Amino acid sequence: MRDRKIKKLIKREQTRQNKTLNLIASENFVSGDILNALGSVFVNKYAEGYPGARYYSGTEVADELEELVQARALRLFQLSSKKWNVNVQPYSGSPANLAILLALVPRGNLPAGRQGKIMGMRLDMGGHLTHGYKASVTGKLWRQIPYVLDPKTELLDYDEILKLAKKEKPKLIIAGGSAYSKVIDFKKFREIADAVEAILLVDMSHFAGLVTGGAYPSPFPHAHVVMTTTHKTLRGPRAALIFSKKELSKNIDRMVFPGIQGGPHMNAIAAVGVALYEASLPSFKKYAKQVVKNTYILAEELKKLGWRIISGGTNTHLFNVDTFKNSISGNEAADLLEKAGIVVNIEAIPYDLRPPKDPSGIRLGAAALTTRGMKEKEMRLIAQIIDKILRKQIKEVKEVIQKLCAQFPIGE
């Protein structure tokens, strides 16, 4: 690379990634093959439109690529192309959700009633910005009817969600989030959606990799639309997929392009194809199961050491810790951990009284460390390390962290 400055930054970032323990639940490490596909000549190609109906010439290879990736996506989640359609063009999860909502939920100055209402998990409960939060454009174009967790158990209360749906009659209900640590009951969500004739969108961005790996139930038997990012537990490049029942797909496709996007990022689509291939290998099933095991051990060990875990624990790839219960704010905890060589993100806890910029907790996940090859033994050690750091004994653990990093290098 002739650009010395960028080259140096890439090198430094590589070193940073290698020398930190990454517990950020939404991050992962992609394979060298995925990096190659992302950096391939597909980056040069404009292919506005869809296979067979493009606005540019020279798209015969791009067409074949996009069709292959579509077929792989359907196959990976065991979907029949007679019932389901998949759009592989979304640049990322946020535009994908925006396209789905624009396609399926009326907005604007509509008469009172169900129109324009979307039901999503409130942000401090573990929901995502794009599920109708006020600061997101989705909260400005539509009215969010937020559902919450039970204040005592911090679990989804499906009876309460049903009551709320019956009262508000939303046009669309979103199941899924960014920080809910327990498996979601999609069947119950579908019953709720059916009771008010709403569309059920499952946003499986976080747990898609667990679904393909058989470590989380599939939402497909119950959902009308399923969105996923490809870069979290699915371990691919930054992009997204929208699966929809055939009767809804035309509107969704039209809203992705030309509605909100221009030319698809064919290099990203190629890399998604590689990720889907990798996720179809038997080793990925093992990986997904190990992620859940590792996360469980990490949470249980932290509990034993006196840390309060939101929702009582985890059976997924992530969980949140109420650090403020032990008098440490989320920011303070994240800063202490980063100083020692562990990266996490700050996270609101249900009914948080502290501001979103310095909430009461942190979110932890084991997907990235599991990709590095770590197992239960390392998780137990990391729980002890985290406990020491948060009790301000940073010096004692820095070396242990570096040893762990060196022992489990990031492949390519």
Catalytic residue ranges: 46, 48, 203, 229, 232, 238
Q: How many helices (H) and strands (E) in the chain?
A: 15, 15
Does 229 participate in binding ligand PLP (rule CB under 6 A)? yes
Gyration radius of the chain over CA positions? 21
Query: Min. distance of Cβ 227 from ligand PLP in angstroms?
Result: 7
- Residue 28 as a binder of ligand PLP (CB under 6 A): the answer is no
Q: Residue number with the shortest CB distance to ligand PLP?
A: 93
Please select the residue that binds ligand PLP; options are 22, 23, 24, 26, rule is CB under 6 A.
Answer: 26
Nearer to ligand PLP, 237 or 341 (CB): 237
Q: How many residues at the interface with ligand PLP, by CB under 6 A?
A: 14
Confirm or reject binding of residue 402 to ligand PLP (CB under 6 A).
no
Identified binder of ligand PLP from the candidate list 17, 31, 40, 92, rule CB under 6 A: 92
Contact between residue 90 and residue 259 where contact means Cβ atoms under 8 Å apart? no
Phi/psi for 369 (5° steps) reads -65, -30
Least CB distance to ligand PLP at residue 120 (A)? 10
What region does 235 belong to: left with phi over 0, alpha with psi -120 to 50, or beta?
Answer: left
Residues in the chain: 412
Q: Which stretch binds ligand PLP (CB under 6 A): 113-121, 200-208, 269-277, 346-354?
A: 200-208
For helices 186-195 and 158-168, give the axis angle rounded to 10 degrees.
20
Choices 107-115, 171-179, 313-321, 358-366 (CB under 6 A): range interacting with ligand PLP:
171-179
Answer whether 219's CB lies under 8 Å from 201's CB: no
Should residue 94 be labelled a site residue for ligand PLP when binding is judged by CB under 6 A? yes
59 binds ligand PLP (CB under 6 A): no
By CB under 6 A, residue 237 contacts ligand PLP: no
Query: What is the token pair recorded at 365?
Result: 């996940």
Written as one string, the DSSP assignment of 327-350 is T--HHHHHHHHHHHTEE-EEEPPT
93 binds ligand PLP (CB under 6 A): yes
Using CB under 6 A as the binding rule, the residues of this chain from 303 to 342 that contact ligand PLP are none
In angstroms, give the least distance from the CB of 368 to ligand PLP.
Answer: 14
Smallest gap from Cβ 320 to ligand PLP, in A, equals 14
Q: Does 177 bind ligand PLP (CB under 6 A)?
A: yes
- Beta bridge mates, 322: 308, 361
Is residue 182 a contact residue for ligand PLP (CB under 6 A)?
A: no
User: Residue 216 and residue 285: Cα distance in Å, rounded?
Assistant: 11
* 190 contributes a contact to ligand PLP by CB under 6 A: no
Contact 341, 401 (CB under 8 A): yes
Between CA 295 and CA 306 the distance in angstroms is 17
Answer whether 116's CB lies under 8 Å from 171's CB: yes
By CB under 6 A, which span of 176-184, 319-327, 387-395, 401-409 interacts with ligand PLP? 176-184
Which CB atom, from 59 or from 233, has the smaller least distance to ligand PLP?
A: 233
Min dist. Cβ of residue 363 to ligand PLP (A): 11
DSSP letter for each residue of 76-123: HTT--TTTEEEE---SSHHHHHHHHHHHHS--SSPPSSSTTEEEEE-G
**376 CB burial (10 A radius; 0-12, 13-18, 19+):** middle
Complex with ligand PLP: residue 203 or 387, whichever CB lies closer: 203
Residues that bind ligand PLP (CB under 6 A): 26, 92-94, 97, 128, 130, 176-178, 203, 205-206, 229
